[in-house]
Structure formats: C-alpha cells, structure tokens
Amino acid sequence: MAEQKRDYYEVLGVDKSADEAAIKKAYRVLAKKYHPDVNPGDAEAEKKFKEASEAYAVLSDPEKRRQYDQFGHAAFEGGAGGAGGFDFSGMDFSDIFGDIFGFGDIFGGGRSGARSNGPMKGANLRTSVRITFEEAVFGCKKEIELTIKETCKTCNGSGAKPGTSPETCSKCGGKGQVVYTQQSFFGTVRNVQACPNCQGTGKVIKDKCADCHGSGYIPMKKRYSVDIPAGIDNGQSTRMPGLGEPGINGGPRGDVLVEVIVGRHPIFQRQDMNIFSTVPVSFAVAALGGEIFIDTVDGKVVYDVKPGTQTDTKVRLKGKGVPSWRNKEIRGDHYVTLVVQVPDKLSGEAKELLRQFDQATDNSLTAVQDASKSKDDKKDDGGGHGKKKKFWEK
C-alpha cells in the first residue's frame, strides 16, 4: 500500500492562508536543514527534503496551489505528482539555494547571481545625523559631510593612463560573466558569476591612471544640506537621490540614506504619532478644580481640571501630537497623565487648616481612634472585665 502523502501546508508548517513570502521563508528553513549536501548519506533527511521541495513547488505556484486547494493531491496524480518523482521542471529555486549554498543558475535556467555587464545603478551610501525631539516633530534642515567619488579629470573616468584605453577582458570575452558547472543532488548546476578579472565590467585596464589608480574616480569631501521631514522617527531615514556610489557601465549613481538619531526629551515620550507626558496637579486644584498649564510641542496650553480629579487621570489633547510623515496636516494626539501632588512641607497654619478641613469632611485623621473607642465602649456595656482588647486583636 502506497504511503499516504502529508498535507503540503503541514509539511511546510504554514497556515492555508499563508502568503507567498511566508511559504518561501518556511521552505528556506527546511531546505537548509534537510538538504542532502548538508546531510550526506542521511536517507531520512533526503526524504524530508524531497517532501518539502514538492510542497514548495506546488504552493509557490499560484495555479498549482489553486488546484491543490480544490482537489488536494489528486490534482497531480499521474502528472506532476508521484512518490519520490515530483516534476521540478520550470521551478526556480536559485534565490533559495543561492542564499544557502551559493548556487547561481540552477537546472540551467534559473536566475543568475552574477551582475550583468550592462548599465547598473551604483550602491547606496548611508550616514546619520542627530536631531532634537522638536526637530523630529516639525522637521528641519541639517548639514552633513559626505565623501563623494568625483570623476577623475586626468582620465575622464576611464581609469586608464592618458593615451591608453581599457581592453576587452580575455577571460570573459567582454561579457562580464563566467559560467561554472558543478554536480549537485539535482544534477548539473550552472553557477554564473561576475568575472574575477574585470569584476563584471567586461574591460580590463593594463596601464592605470596614476591619479585615480584605475578606479576612474577621486574621493572628495563635500557638505550638503539635507531636508529632515516633519514626523520622522528615531531610526528612520530620508533619501538624497544621486549622491551615492557611481553607477557601473554608465548606470546612474546610487542614493544617500540619512538615518536620524532623535535625542531624548526631558518631558515628552513618543509612540508613533502620539506624544505622552505627565503633569503634576496641586491637591487644591485636584479637589476644587481649576486651570493649569500643560507643556506641549506647540507651547503651553491652558487646561481646566475638573473638581475631584484623581491621580493618574488621563487627558487627551487632540491634534497636539506628531505630524504624519506623508501629510503634515494630519497630526496625532498628546496624552497627559495628571498626578496629584501631596505637599511634603507645611506651615503650622496650613496644618491646622488641613485638620479643620478633615473634620469638616470625613474625619480621616481620627478614624482609627474613633473605631477603637467605639469597640471599647461596647465591651464596657457588656460587663466585661480585665484588659480591654482592641477590635482588631483576636
């Protein structure tokens, strides 16, 4: 009797609602764990690898996945399916195994890990700048210093000594790529890589320019003004187009990504577009009500505290938070926690007024004594003798 196949979703350990990225991530983990090249001679690992590869081949293909969801394994019986004989033709695993094992073009038809010798955009550069909490909220301009590669004037960017020119690379024939083949579990694997002689340019420089040493560029320090948008948060970056590394073979320059490091504020804390702070309220204002000042990023605002306000009361100041990065007309809110302050130093007159206040309200200062006296009076009425116990004593 043929062994019952496991559900493909169960094999990969994902839900039936999993998206393409989740399926790919799950398969990558299993492929790295059970690949035969990692587990030579392990029949069980090879079996699990084949099972995971079959599941991925189906679930990563929208049409095959639709058929599987409708008909299950029966959708591929006699065709793509079959124990140990799943058809991988047409499947592109190069991005999976390229990451894990360094394979490039797998099965003779996948995507190449080598770069083309056509025009390519240059790499991005990264730098950082420190700003204050308020600058992050409202935006600002900052000056930064960058080391930019400028075209060498001696060789006009060719990298070759004046009077000479770059020559076609003999190793790759000017293609910029070389192809290596190797044997794998899947058969012959074609690995396409950038030519090591010309670094993928298709050209080699025999007589290098003395000023740029064959690079075609001279590093120079320059200062630039960068616009920091309102609402940017700590760790986020703003982009300066066209100031990055030079392109390859006539490609455009990369960009500069400026990461902001936002300093701490002594009063405010931020979460997304909202601001949080704590404001002390005097005992008198909390009890009787009254107006107080609340600090916001827009300055001080007046807030009317309701009588009988308790400590930890939350207040929302609508529209006093951080502007949206995409639309500065939209702002978050400012949430304030009111904390009732108990005075730790009182004059004799103030203490006496507090005692009078207590007597006029609930006599909290003498509550324990009054309760104890009441208990003792009840015991005397009952004819008790001996030492009187307090009501909380057993």
Separation between Cα atoms, residue 136 and residue 145, nearest integer Å? 20
- How much of the chain is helix, strand and coil, in % rounded to 5? 25, 25, 45
Average pLDDT of the chain, as a whole number:
82
| Under 8 Å between Cβ of 231 and 163 | no
- The token pair at 239 is 């982009």
Residue 347 tokens read as 């004059």
Question: Which residue has tokens 């302050």?
Answer: 341
Structurally, the chain folds into a number of domains equal to 2
Q: Is residue 220 part of a domain?
A: no
pLDDT at 218: 92
In a domain, 131, yes or no: no
Give the model's pLDDT for residue 105. Answer: 38
H/E run at residue 204: strand 203-204
Q: How far is CA 228 from CA 238, 275, 287, in A?
A: 7, 19, 45
SS3 140: strand
Domain carrying residue 281: 269-341
Q: What six digits make up the tokens of 27?
A: 């398969």
Question: What would the two tokens of residue 73 be?
Answer: 């394994």
241 domain residue, yes or no:
no
Tens digit of pLDDT per residue, the chain (394 long)?
456 788 999 999 999 889 988 999 999 899 888 887 777 778 888 889 889 999 998 998 888 888 888 888 877 765 444 334 455 544 555 555 555 554 433 333 334 444 455 678 888 999 999 999 999 999 999 999 999 999 999 998 888 889 888 888 888 888 888 887 766 555 566 777 878 888 777 888 888 999 988 888 999 999 999 999 999 999 999 999 999 988 877 789 899 999 999 999 999 999 999 999 999 999 889 989 999 999 999 999 999 999 999 999 999 999 999 998 878 889 999 999 999 988 888 888 888 888 888 788 877 777 777 777 776 666 666 555 555 555 455 4
Confirm whether 101 is domain-assigned. Answer: no
Residue ending a domain, among 323, 341, 359, is 341
CA distances from 324 to 46, 134, 321, 361 (A): 52, 14, 9, 49
Q: What is the pLDDT of residue 76?
A: 74
Residue 300 sits in a domain whose CATH number is: 2.60.260.20
Q: Mind listing the pLDDT tens digit for each residue in 70-101?
A: 888 877 765 444 334 455 544 555 555 555 55
Residue 246: HSE in the Cβ half-sphere, 13 Å Cα cutoff: 16
Residue 184 lies in a domain: no
**250 in a structural domain:** no
Tokens of 295: 């600090």
Structure tokens that stand for 226 in this block: 């960068």
Domain boundary among 65, 91, 117: 91
pLDDT for the residue 122? 86
360 domain residue, yes or no: no
How open is the CA angle 67-72-78, to the nearest 5 degrees? 85
Sequence-separated contacts (24+) of 366-375 with Cβ below 8 Å: none
Q: What is the pTM of this model?
A: 0.57
CATH code for position 40? 1.10.287.110
pLDDT tens, 257-309?
A: 999 999 999 999 999 999 999 999 998 899 899 999 999 999 999 999 999 99
> How would you class 35 by CB atoms within 10 Å of its CB: exposed for 0-12, middle for 13-18, buried for 19 or more?
buried
Q: Which residues of 229-252 are buried (b: 16+ CB within 10 A; e: fewer)?
A: bbbbeeebbbebeebbbbbbeeee
Q: What is the pLDDT of residue 380?
A: 62
Quote the pLDDT of residue 238.
92
- Residue 232 domain-assigned (yes or no): no
What do you get for the CA distance between the two ends of the chain, in Å? 79
The residue out of 318, 341, 364 marking a domain boundary is 341
The SS3 assignment for 46 reads helix
DSSP three-state, residue 280: strand
Q: How far apart are CA 356 and CA 192, in angstroms?
A: 91
